Amino acid sequence: MENQFKKIKVAILGVGNCASSLVQGVEYYTVFSEKKSGLMADDIGGYKAGNIEFVCGFDIDERKIGLPLKQAIFAKPNCAIVLNPDVRSEAPVYRSPVIDGVSPLMANYPPDNRFIIKENLKPTDLLASPGAHDAAFVQELKQEIIRHLKDHEAEVLINYLPVGSQLATEFYAEICLELGISLVNCIPVFIASNPEWEQKFIDAGIPIIGDDMRSQFGASILSQMLQELAFERGHHVRAHIQRNVGGNTDFLNMEDKNRLKSKKISKENVIRAQNDIRGISTEDSFLHAGPSEYIAYYGDNKVANFRLELEGFMGAPVFLDAQLSVQDSPNSAGVVIDAIRYVYVARELGLVGALRGPSASTQKTPPEQMMFNDALYECHALAKRELTESTRRQLMQTA
């Protein structure tokens, strides 16, 4: 079944680099609908890229607020590679409260690229004490956001807030619950994987996907596949080290170690999960994954280095050193374009709560970690609008 003319109405929270690549990509694969290269799935439940319609965005930066998406996605401090400049989206970008969505370290960003924030506090005050808003101001802004989402009939919200935005993510999660909007949580604030939060979405009858998007061909999926390969070939993993360097605002934000804790947990979850699924202890293994350095020169390019130390036949040592270099934001967009369609098909099928297969396939910290092929099986079934046995069990549990 193909829903050629039906639109999936999507709102974007955080019109940064990832949003830029996603909007560019949807436009690209809509115009060039015959192109399949670069997409993981051309058709999901009858929906293609052209079925996605961005209806509005939310941001804190005055250089983006009030602009249509076709302009806002190219405004500073965005530095994502421009692969499709011909974006036509007129979807407006509205003001979002800062809450804890800005790290004090962002004050160190080059002057012409710093966030420009005009609220009832000075930008320096906001950076010095994030979340120090006047409560009445935040509630007033919340009502505006609710009105905008209602007016645009948003059905899915993409969370692209910076790492460490715990309170801001919860602020928007509550709005999703109130309005019946599905959340695709692309950051390591644990909502879909938190049983208490998931229950709220179950009670509201809403499907969600999360947490912390894993790129299409990025460090996390590569670490998972290397770990799986080592185990499948009978090797013991003595050490698995993954280090990442980049130069976009995400990497600068993560220089604030107070905001990095959940990110490190999320990235290491991908590796540890392969041990847990097989019942293999990690006590005698050294596992490390996480951002290691911000280098402005790199821009949106991300470089990941891997070191695996294995024990093979009769304990023979095996060492693997590898390096991956990718454009970070397009690598993200290729996954999110699928997550949007998975969660929308789930809405139509009456599924609620955190989607196990699509979350395990597209996120670093899903509610249930799966091996690559198991998650893929669940995704393929949902794409064909079929319910697997595990999905049927989830339906019974949430009924």
Mean pLDDT of 52-62: 95
**CB of 257 within 8 A of CB of 212?**
no
Whether residue 162 has pLDDT greater than 60 = yes
Q: Other CB atoms closer than 10 Å to residue 4's CB: what's the count? A: 9
* Percent of the chain's residues with pLDDT above 90: 71
**Torsions phi, psi for 273 (to 5 deg):** -60, -35
Q: Residue 277 has which token pair?
A: 């699924």
Q: Which range among 25-34, 154-163, 256-265, 388-397 shows the weakest confidence by mean pLDDT?
A: 256-265
**CB of 146 within 8 A of CB of 96?**
no
Mean pLDDT of 368-390: 94
Which is it for strands 8-13 and 52-59: parallel, antiparallel or unpaired?
Answer: parallel
Question: Which of 160, 187, 159 is CA-nearest to residue 174?
Answer: 159
Give the model's pLDDT for residue 59: 95
398 alpha carbon, distance to own chain's centre: 25
Q: Other CB atoms closer than 10 Å to residue 294's CB: what's the count? A: 19
Question: Which amino acid belongs to residue 152?
Answer: H
* Percent of the chain's residues with pLDDT above 70: 91
Question: Which of 83, 50, 53 is CA-nearest to residue 69?
Answer: 53
Round to whole Å and give the CA distance between 72 and 79.
12
Q: Which range among 79-88, 125-134, 263-272, 333-342 shows the weakest confidence by mean pLDDT?
A: 125-134
pLDDT band per the 50, 70, 90 thresholds, residue 270: confident
* Rounded (10°) angle between helices 166-179 and 195-204: 20
Q: Model confidence over 98-140: pLDDT tens digits? A: 888 877 666 666 556 555 655 544 444 444 444 445 677 788 8
Mean pLDDT of 353-376: 95
pLDDT band per the 50, 70, 90 thresholds, residue 251: confident
